[in-house]
Structure formats: C-alpha cells, structure tokens
C-alpha cells in the first residue's frame, strides 16, 4: 500500500472566490478564528482518505493516531507513506511507532508541493466545500469538511448552500 499524507488547517472565515458587483454587498462571516485540523492520508489507487481531526493542533500524537488507523486497516501488509518534512513527523517517537507497525515513512524533498498528491485533494476540498459559503456555527463548518472528505470526488451529494 502506498499513501500520501499531509495536514490541512481549515480556518472559519470568508472564502469569497470572485465577486463582481455594481453595488456593495456585505458578506457574513463568523467572528473569531477557529481552526479545524485534518491530518489525512490519501490512497491514490482506491481514491480513499483516512483522517484524524481535531481543533487543537497537529502533533506527533496525531501522527501516531493516524498510523494506528492505517495499521489496523492493513495488518501484515507492507505500507509506505510519503510525507512532508514537518518537524512533528521526524520525531523519534513517530519513527519508532511506525517501525513497530511495519510502516515505512518516505520523506519528500523539501519545497516539493507538486509531488504531494494530497495537496491537490486539500485544494479540492477547499474549493468545493468552503468557497462562497457561510456556516453559522463551527460544528456545521467541521461537518461540511468531514462530509466532503468522506464522499471524495462525489461532491454533488453536498448541499448547494448552508445557512
């Protein structure tokens, strides 16, 4: 199994995209700066996504949680995960945990976002799920992201507007 892994940090706010208007339009946006962190692993063959989410931060424990989920899905199989050079992924704790699960961590060269398949997935989720939308509550914002990630390319199941 070959996976690509990265973290995305979705922040509540206004994603306007492009707006042209003769009259000024006020766009509602939530106050504050709440963040929904998604640490995801993407399988390019089956187009499936495995995620660990939280509202605090992504750290080595989050990475180990995700490694555990992947290890449970593929017991006894050889697994390689391609990931970036974030500091929390290089720690001895993470590397030791991956070895115990039989998972090989392959680090991409620095400054190579084009080699990261999951980066394209993050852009897709942002465009299909967050642009030109407003969510009253933070839990609705998180649910919309989860729904988009769960359905992957089948974004047509998402509602056109959420109020």
Q: pLDDT of 35-67, one tens digit each?
A: 889 998 888 788 788 899 999 889 999 999 999
Q: How many helices (H) and strands (E) does the chain have?
A: 5, 5
pLDDT at 28 over 60: yes
Domains of the chain: 2-16+29-150 (3.30.420.10)
Residues with Cβ within 8 Å of residue 101, at least 6 apart in sequence: 67, 68, 70, 71, 79
Considering only residues 95 and 31, tell me which one the structure prediction assigns the higher pLDDT: 95
Q: 106, 116, 94: which is closest to 40 by C-alpha?
A: 116
φ and ψ at residue 152, rounded to 5 degrees: 55, -125
Predicted pLDDT at 99: 94
Q: What is the mean pLDDT of the segment spanning 138-161? A: 69
pLDDT value at residue 123: 82
Specify burial of residue 8 (Cβ count, 10 A radius: 0-12, 13-18, 19+): buried
**Would the pLDDT of 154 be above 60?**
no
Neighbours of 77 (CB within 10 A): 11
């Amino acid at each position: 199994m070959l996976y690509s892994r990265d973290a995305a940090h979705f922040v509540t706010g206004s994603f306007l995209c492009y707006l042209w208007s003769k009259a000024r339009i006020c766009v509602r946006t939530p106050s504050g700066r709440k963040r929904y962190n998604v640490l995801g692993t993407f399988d390019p063959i089956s187009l499936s996504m495995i995620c660990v989410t939280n509202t605090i931060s992504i750290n080595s424990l989050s990475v180990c949680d995700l490694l555990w989920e992947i290890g449970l899905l593929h017991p006894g199989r050889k697994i390689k995960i391609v990931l970036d050079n974030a500091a929390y992924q290089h720690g001895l704790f993470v590397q030791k945990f991956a070895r115990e699960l039989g998972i090989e961590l392959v680090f991409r060269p620095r400054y190579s976002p084009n080699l990261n398949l999951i980066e394209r997935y993050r852009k897709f989720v942002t465009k299909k799920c967050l642009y030109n939308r407003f969510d009253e509550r933070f839990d609705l914002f998180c649910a919309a992201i989860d729904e988009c990630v769960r359905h992957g390319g089948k974004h047509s199941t998402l509602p056109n507007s959420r109020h």
